[in-house]
């Protein structure tokens, strides 16, 4: 499906969704493993590998971290709704929506490659 088939506002919303998800994942990577304070644990030693899973104590999220996570999640929900309920999808014939949706997810990759 040609990239020009998508309205610019839909393309922009999809790009914002990708960028927001990436920013959230980068932010979440440095958060404690539990949002609430939790004691660490150590699992049983695995029979054949000797591997022992464990987690350190988690201090839980700070108020600032909770607010930032809520902000990211709210923005991701808003953008997801914008993309999935866009009027463009109603213009497609039966059986075309899934292929078009998959193409939209990669439209910015294609545009970057064409610009290079």
Tens digits of per-residue pLDDT, 4-60? 589 999 999 999 999 999 999 999 999 999 999 999 999 988 888 989 999 999 999
In a domain, 87, yes or no: yes
In a domain, 102, yes or no: yes
Domain that holds residue 16: 3-32+61-115
In a domain, 13, yes or no: yes
In a domain, 50, yes or no: no
In a domain, 42, yes or no: no
Place of tokens 């980068």: 26
CA atoms of 2 and 74, how far apart (whole Å): 31
pTM of the model: 0.81
Number of structural domains (the chain) is 1
In a domain, 41, yes or no: no
pLDDT for 50: 86
In a domain, 109, yes or no: yes
In a domain, 43, yes or no: no
CA atoms of 42 and 45, how far apart (whole Å): 9
């Amino acid at each position: 499906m040609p990239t020009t088939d998508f309205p610019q506002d839909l393309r922009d919303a999809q790009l914002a969704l990708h960028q927001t998800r990436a920013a959230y994942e980068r932010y979440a990577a440095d958060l404690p493993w539990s949002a609430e304070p939790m004691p660490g644990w150590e699992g049983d030693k695995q029979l054949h590998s000797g591997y022992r899973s464990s987690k350190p104590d988690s201090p839980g999220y700070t108020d600032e971290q909770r607010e930032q996570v809520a902000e990211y999640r709210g923005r991701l929900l808003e953008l997801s709704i914008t993309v999935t309920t866009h009027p463009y999808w109603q213009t497609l014939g039966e059986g075309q929506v899934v292929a078009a949706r998959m193409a939209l997810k990669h439209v910015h990759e294609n545009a970057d490659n064409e610009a290079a």
